[in-house]
Structure 1
């Protein structure tokens, strides 16, 4: 395990020990509290010995995401008991349901903007983030990708959702909102965690205020052809004092803004990756289609490209079209 992560987990365990000691002193007859304190002490002892994070059964490493979610885990997934497996599956099913309930309305239309998206986790939960927030005739759209996979990434995805929803309700400028979220990530996320994000405010005039914090290039397609808008900022959570600037984009009637996570552009077969160039070509060929049809065509093409090669990353795609 990386040094920063080990240091973070040690700090977490020491803080839990301190709180448990206070609780045990207040309720000395509570056997469950005493048992938890013994588990924390044991985990700290394993850190000192250098055996922390190793499965007690096979001595291989316990899954990183599980340790970050529960520093007391002592067995890898392969050596859980059947009741433990069943409990874990129930938790994952519930987490998956909660995450899907955070997704925006399908086929949302706000003023002259119509939308569609596709959200496909590679496992039970995803680190991809997608949201659409109507605001006084304008539409705030967000697409992001939290580093890592699994439960830890999905928890940060849920935090992104809550942060943007809360800050949007305060009527702050979008650039200021992105700055606040970056500060939160820097101060509160686990060591080494960050998020790429592309977001924008689509206005009734067809103008879009676009911010891209280290995410995949945005694609604009329409009668004027196809163009690629590169990121103009660093991912969220990398540096505390980072400035985020907007790129103005003007869409005419029939133009589409196409956004995606790297689960699409980095999909691969035996010959290599799908790539941004192929995404641009496909979107250009299907430029006249409605957002849902455009996304379906893209998914059909990537499935044909991968030809059965399994995906190892979450995939989310969002299309936003000016329709007046």
Structure 2
């Protein structure tokens, strides 16, 4: 485990110990509090010996995202007791439900724009982030991918959702919004945790402003053009004072903006990666279709490419089309 993550977990355990000791000092005798204090002391002792984070059954590393969520975890997923497995499944089911409730309205139409998206975690929860927010006749959109997998990534995804939802209500210029979101995210995320994303504002006039922070190229397709909007900044969370420059476009009626995560671009079959060039070719071939049909065609193509092989990463697709 990385040194900074170990230091973070050590601080978390020490803070829990202080709080437990304070509670025990003023409360009547409580076996539950005493038991928790014993668990925290045991974890700190294992950390001092260098055995913290190793499964007490098989001595292999415990999953990092589980340790970050609960520093008292002692067993890897392969060696949970039946009650622990049941409790973990309940927690994952709840987290999955929370994530589903954070997704934007399906088939949203607003300000001359129509949208469709597909959100498919590879497990119970996802580190992908997708949102659509109508505001004063404009459409704010964002699609991102948090580093890592599992519960830890899903928690950061939830944080990003709250950040951008709060900032859109402040009517800030888009560049300032991304800068503020990056600063807050950077200050709260652990070292090595970051998020790539594309966000933008679409006006009823067809004018679109896009900020691509280290994400895969956005694609704009129309009847006689295909544009590839490359990244113009670093991922959120890498540096607190990063700058993010904008790309401004004029979309005509019938033009579509297509965004995706690495569940599409890095999908693999037995010998090949799908890649951005295939994404561009596919979207160009389906340019005349409305958003829902475009996404359905992408999913059909992806299934054919994978040949029935397992999906290895979260998959999110977002299509935004100017309809008037």
| TM-score, structure 2 normalization | 0.98
Q: Which runs of 5+ in 2 are unaligned?
A: none
Are 1:81 and 2:87 an aligned pair? no
Structure 2 match to 1:39: 39
> What SS does the corresponding residue of 2:103 show, helix, strand or coil?
coil
Alpha-carbon distance, 1:32 to partner = 1.4
Contact 2:126–2:314 (Cα < 8 Å) also in 1 = yes
> What SS does the corresponding residue of 2:61 show, helix, strand or coil?
coil
> What SS does the corresponding residue of 2:318 show, helix, strand or coil?
strand
Counterparts of 2:12 and 2:35 in 1: how far apart (Å)?
17
> What SS does the corresponding residue of 2:53 show, helix, strand or coil?
coil
Structure 1 match to 2:27: 27
Alpha-carbon distance, 1:224 to partner = 2.6
Counterparts of 1:36 and 1:86 in 2: how far apart (Å)?
21
Structure 1 match to 2:11: 11
Q: How does 1:1-324 map to 2 (within 5 A)?
A: 1-27=1-27, 29-324=29-324
Alpha-carbon distance, 1:227 to partner = 1.5
Contact 1:211–1:244 (Cα < 8 Å) also in 2 = yes
Contact 2:160–2:185 (Cα < 8 Å) also in 1 = no
Alpha-carbon distance, 1:300 to partner = 0.5
Residues 210-246 of structure 1: per-residue CA shift (max 9 Å, x gap): 0011011000000232111100010000001111111
Counterparts of 1:147 and 1:26 in 2: how far apart (Å)?
42
Residues 97-141 of structure 1: per-residue CA shift (max 9 Å, x gap): 110010001000002100000000000000000000000110000
Counterparts of 1:191 and 1:72 in 2: how far apart (Å)?
21
Counterparts of 1:173 and 1:35 in 2: how far apart (Å)?
51
> What SS does the corresponding residue of 2:254 show, helix, strand or coil?
coil
Alpha-carbon distance, 1:191 to partner = 2.3
Contact 2:147–2:153 (Cα < 8 Å) also in 1 = yes
Residues 17-44 of structure 1: per-residue CA shift (max 9 Å, x gap): 1222211112251221121111111101
Counterparts of 1:223 and 1:81 in 2: how far apart (Å)?
58
Residues 18-73 of structure 1: per-residue CA shift (max 9 Å, x gap): 22221111225122112111111110110110100111111111111111100000
Counterparts of 1:81 and 1:103 in 2: how far apart (Å)?
33
Counterparts of 1:256 and 1:220 in 2: how far apart (Å)?
6
Contact 1:252–1:322 (Cα < 8 Å) also in 2 = yes
Following TM superposition, the consecutive aligned residue runs of length 4 or more in structure 1 with deviations greater than 2 angstroms are none
> What SS does the corresponding residue of 2:24 show, helix, strand or coil?
helix
> What SS does the corresponding residue of 2:145 show, helix, strand or coil?
strand
12-21 or 211-220, which deviates more: 12-21
Counterparts of 2:18 and 2:64 in 1: how far apart (Å)?
24
Contact 2:13–2:71 (Cα < 8 Å) also in 1 = yes
Contact 1:8–1:191 (Cα < 8 Å) also in 2 = no
> What SS does the corresponding residue of 1:269 show, helix, strand or coil?
coil
| TM-score, structure 1 normalization | 0.98
> What SS does the corresponding residue of 1:272 show, helix, strand or coil?
coil
4-13 or 286-295, which deviates more: 4-13
